[in-house]
Structure 1
């Protein structure tokens, strides 16, 4: 039976033009930066009219929040797919590590989309920052829950460690050496898992 984890949001079927705008934003915001991409560019690349853009999203800020939610959906779906393949929480933690390593090694990787977005919006109360925070809270809750299931003595602290290692690997993997970044991330997972009493006694 698959592990019961925080389930991903339901993927909605959007109108073709709305989906096209979102897919365009997903690509351009990540590749070029959110503030660097203007509404006129989004409209042109999406092959929609200005009226269509405003009908579906109303403003660029609303589209940015939808972009963050879309990125969260993609991560949550990838984790859920891994969870459907195992009933072992430790294996799922390893599978999450494998996902992180694959993202860092992917062609076109330019860092964590959530951290990238947070750096562009300095106001912590901005809806974009709140959307990023919601994703990070979800990820922390997921890690902490899995660590608690395998009997880690300090699952909250260990989840903090894995979150920080994830952030560092995402940044280091883009700015420097992805191989070194993923190796360091794996070492942190190994250290965290080694603190589980049954493993430590083995």
Structure 2
């Protein structure tokens, strides 16, 4: 059983703490937010925070774990059981674009976090790399099933397109950014399919 749970379910206080931290970390950054602010806005005591998390670092890791689980669910939900593989790639790209269009979008939670934790040995930095490795492997597998060759190069290209769209989406017109991103993914599919036939 994890800390702060009964029967494996998170306690209401833990859920409130993590929800509050997630909202503030994503909107304002991690280093700029102290535990006192999170305690105040979550309306819990300091003892309650430390009953559920050993400290701010564990809270940050829980925030990133929640974001990772959300991304995995988003990609799983975007794929249709009977869809053609290339349509799965398009569906994943559309899901990413919909996230960029969403209210309060502030870029990629993982890229934002790693900018604040540049030390490659830090647990937060390692959590970001683990998420990104999963994402790269997932899109590479999707592109490979769509017949795009070489799939590893196409996967890296897709991730770079996505990273650029995530960075630009909170700086420029999200609709224009998403249109550019989706067009780039379509070009990647077209070029990769043509290369696989030669």
Instruction: Give 1:86 shift.
Output: 3.9
Q: Kindly tell me: are residues 137 and 181 of structure 1, through their superposed partners in 2, closer, same or farther at Cα, counting changes over 3 Å?
A: same
Instruction: Give 1:79 shift.
Output: 1.3
Aligned to 2:185: 189
- CA distance in structure 2 between the partners assigned to 1:153 and 1:35 by the alignment: 41
Please give the per-residue CA displacement for 1:30-56, whole angstroms capped at 9, x wherever unaligned: 011111111001111111110110111
Count of residues in Structure 1 that have an aligned counterpart in Structure 2? 190
Aligned to 1:24: 20
Instruction: Give 1:91 shift.
Output: 1.5
- CA distance in structure 2 between the partners assigned to 1:151 and 1:15 by the alignment: 46
Other structure's SS at 1:195 match: helix
1:90 aligns with 2:86: yes
Given the two structures, how large is their TM-score scaled by the length of structure 2?
0.90
Given the two structures, how large is their TM-score scaled by the length of structure 1?
0.88
Q: How does 1:136-175 map to 2 (within 5 A)?
A: 136-175=132-171
Contact 1:194 1:200 in 2 (8 A): no
Q: Kindly tell me: are residues 122 and 187 of structure 1, through their superposed partners in 2, closer, same or farther at Cα, counting changes over 3 Å?
A: same
Choose 163-172 or 173-182, whichever is displaced more: 173-182
Contact 2:154 2:192 in 1 (8 A): no
Please give the per-residue CA displacement for 1:6-33, whole angstroms capped at 9, x wherever unaligned: xxxxxx6311111111111111100111
RMSD over aligned CA atoms reads: 1.7
